[in-house]
A = this chain, B = another copy of it.
């Protein structure tokens, strides 16, 4: 297998600034990154420039939910009504059409307001993704591997899935519209490791690495609501700021507005995207994962 082309992206969400500034920096000087993988052609893209200029997640709707294959194909016949629906069609023409992408690997850089640390999100459970995750985790022990393989690759709504293969670099905590140096440096480091791994693949120097600790997405959990549908609790301080902490039945997971604990009743889970600001409007408290080897 050879990865001829790598597209590294920021600004899919315009207020997630690590990728925006990293891509701007690489566009000015990609030498250091290109030297890590002389065998591949690396290019860069600020994906949703209008939202970057507006410093918002999106203009009309979330671009990173437009790329489910059926949604893309259904929309093809329509006039794109929103900025992001139109942009999705344009990106699909440029890099796709999905599932026949012309880029071998898309790396899409995101931030979360949650304390998820430097997280590599992989979307398929195959040899390539396993070896990539293992390489990153081995060289960057504080990296978190998050596996979202609950649906087939083509059904994922993410922009990066226009690529033949793709991963997301998801680093937090960082407030929307803010830029933190430590988060930026973690973003560079993880992206450099991905590129360095590709060089080992292309030059057949990749070693078979043993499985590493990872987390596999289970479900999204809403905030509790009262009889009027109003939110009646917050994430508990035990989990807020402590993404990927184990929560067992009987442990506090929410706190109501008078300070009373609400206990977790399900199987043991590892909450993440805890209190992510972008999901607040949909009343999502956190996502759950199970710990696994990958």
Contact = CB atoms under 8 A, between A and B. Distances in A.
Interface of A: 17, 21-22, 24-25, 55, 113, 173, 175-182, 184-185, 230-231, 234-237, 240-241, 255, 257-259, 275-278, 280-281
A51 B241 CA distance: 26
A231 B236 CA distance: 37
Given A25-B258, A175-B173, A234 B181 contact: yes
A49 to B, nearest CB: 15
A230 B179 CA distance: 14
A180 B257 contact: no
B257 A178 contact: no
In the complex, which of the residues A22, A176, A231, A235 has the most CB atoms of chain B within 10 Å of its own CB atom?
Answer: A176
6 contacts: A25-B258, A55-B280, A55-B281, A173-B175, A175-B275, A177-B277
B55 A178 contact: no
A181 B256 CA distance: 9
Given A113-B175, A113-B178, A180-B237, 13 more contacts: A21-B231, A21-B234, A22-B257, A175-B176, A176-B176, A177-B278, A177-B280, A177-B281, A178-B275, A178-B280, A179-B234, A181-B234, A182-B240
A145 B258 CA distance: 26
A4 to B, nearest CB: 28
A132 to B, nearest CB: 24
Nearest to A226: B28
A113 B24 CA distance: 24
A241 B277 CA distance: 19
Contacts of A275: 175, 178-180
Contacts of A258: 25
Top-7 shortest CB links A-B: A113-B175, A177-B277, A178-B277, A175-B175, A181-B234, A25-B257, A175-B277
A115 B114 CA distance: 15
A268 B15 CA distance: 33
A123 to B, nearest CB: 26
A25 B173 CA distance: 27
A214 to B, nearest CB: 26
Contacts of A230: 24
Contact of A277 (B176, B231, B236): B176
Contacts of A177: 176, 277-278, 280-281
A22 B259 CA distance: 12
A230 B176 CA distance: 19
B235 A181 contact: yes
Contact of A181 (B21, B25, B178, B240): B240
Contacts of A236: 181
